[in-house]
Amino acid sequence: MTFALAERSRTGILSALAARLNTGSSDEALKRALVAEHLRATTYFASAHTSSTDALPLPHTTRLMTNLRRNLDGLWPLQVAENPTNATGDSSNPYRSVLKDLEAIGDLVQTGGGYWISAPLRFVEGSDPETLLVFGGAPCEVVRAATGAMVSCAAATRFVRRIDLKGHAAFRLIQSLDAWLGFSDPLPLWTKRTIAAHLERLSASEEMAADQLEVYAPDFYRDRKKHGRWMPATEIDRSIDGPRLCRPRAAHSRVYARPHYFGMFSFHQGRLALLRSAPVEFETSRRLCFGIDDALKEPRSATITLSGDTCIVDLPYRLPQPEVRVLSLGWRTSPAGATNDAFAIPRAALPALDRALRRLLIVPIVSTRGAA
């Protein structure tokens, strides 16, 4: 028996992997797609054997990270140095960010204690009638074997051509984008109902100065021909009609998950005073800001730049749940602490991004890099 050995360059190996995963030209998209497939495969085959006599233990986060470092670090040496947006001194951090992305988009499910299982396979339609997004923990090879469809990958995003699924039982697994994002009432209706529910919870208390608060007041900034959203209560120089979202100023509270409230205010002797208030959950408050902007006629926009296989979305604000999950289809490109959050999203996922933004009444402004 004879064996033939051939040396392959790193570039040659990556090119072969890109062809196998059918990725585009982005090195970052290939890297994250390969990590995602590794995580799906490890979790899927353990999940598939849990009911058999030779059941495999569910993979733990530590085991997943160890396997990734062992199998993939050689392809991207010094990966933290090459990926400064994720650098924290932990070499597994880029791998963890992909794991979090797979959890966010619904491919993997954490069962508690750091253990993971695969989510069921499903397909999601977008505004492009030719393409379906693929979600679930089944790796690409399993999807191909089960459906005969060629799966393309870019970071955590996977997609197939709709025509490849026609006539197959999997065609019945197609969901709408809203079903994948999470059903919700239209934002104006949701805002109206949420505000009404919190008004019923307003607690009466002694009148107190609001000097340590800031109030969500983009209309006050507009009246002063400035741009802003949260205004210190000490800068408000007139009465406020109706309830307002408010929170402690950063100097008087924790910065992370700062508590938010709905408050009723009075104004006398040139100062605001808090009359009644009701606590608002952090994620609810974040989504309410978008609904309040619409009610105050303060439209938001997002700049999307098309560049090759990806689109770059620039966000001067954080998206709320559940729409924020769409950002996990791509990867962050802005450094930590940047004023704006910038994300690269695979071009195939643009319909999902567009739908998520429009549900929040954000106007996408799309341009093409290099266009005049």
Query: 193 and 287: one domain?
Result: yes
Q: How confident is the model at residue 204 (pLDDT cuts 50, 70, 90)?
A: confident
At residue 338, the pLDDT reads: 78
Question: Does residue 151 sit in helix, strand or coil?
Answer: coil
Are 287 and 353 in the same domain?
A: no
Residue 4 confidence (pLDDT) above 80: no
Query: Which segment of 50-54, 113-117, 211-215, 239-243 scores lowest on mean pLDDT?
Result: 50-54
Confidence (pLDDT) at 252? 64
Whether residues 14 and 113 fall in one domain: yes
**High-pLDDT (> 90) share of the chain, %:** 54
As given in the structure block, the two tokens for residue 15 are 């090119």
Does 161 map to a domain? yes
E strand or H helix that includes residue 291: helix 282-295
Mean pLDDT of 275-291: 94
Domain assignment present for residue 148? The answer is yes
pLDDT of residue 8: 74
Q: Given 245, 277, 295, which residue is the final one in a domain?
A: 295
Model confidence over 31-68: pLDDT tens digits? 999 999 999 999 998 877 655 545 568 899 999 999 99
Among 96, 118, 140, residue at a domain's last position: 118
**Helix (H, G, I), strand (E, B), or coil: what is residue 188?**
helix
Measured CA to CA, the distance from residue 304 to residue 344 in angstroms comes to 10
Q: Confidence class of residue 81 from pLDDT cuts 50, 70 and 90? A: very low
Least confident stretch, 70-74, 132-136, 191-195: 70-74
Residues 6+ apart with CB under 8 A from 25: 308, 309
Q: Domain residues for 344?
A: 300-368
How does DSSP assign 21-68, residue by residue?
HT--S-HHHHHHHHHHHHHHHHHHHHHHTTTSTTPPPPPBHHHHHHHH
Give the model confidence (pLDDT) of 158-202 as tens digits.
999 888 887 777 777 788 899 999 888 999 999 999 999 999 998
3-state DSSP helix/strand/coil % of the chain, to nearest 5: 40, 25, 35
| 313 located within any domain | yes
Q: How confident is the model at residue 242 (pLDDT cuts 50, 70, 90)?
A: confident
Rounded Cα–Cα distance for residues 82 and 10 (Å) = 16
State in Å, rounded, how far the first CA of the chain is from the last one: 63
Single-letter amino acid code for the residue at 320: P
Q: Which residue has the tokens 């802003």?
A: 228
- How many domains does the chain fold into? 4
Asked if residue 3 belongs to a domain, the reply is no
pLDDT, residue 50, reads 57
For residue 221, what are its two tokens? 């900034």
Domain final position from 295, 324, 347: 295
| Residue 42: per-residue pLDDT | 93
Above 80 in pLDDT, residue 287? yes
Domain holding 350: CATH number? Answer: 3.30.70
Domain-embedded: residue 2: no
| Encoded tokens for 166 | 């026609």
pLDDT of residue 86: 45
In a domain, 95, yes or no: yes
Lowest mean pLDDT among 201-205, 221-225, 247-251: 201-205
pLDDT above 70 (res 243): yes
* 300-331 residue pLDDT tens: 999 999 988 899 999 999 999 999 999 999 99
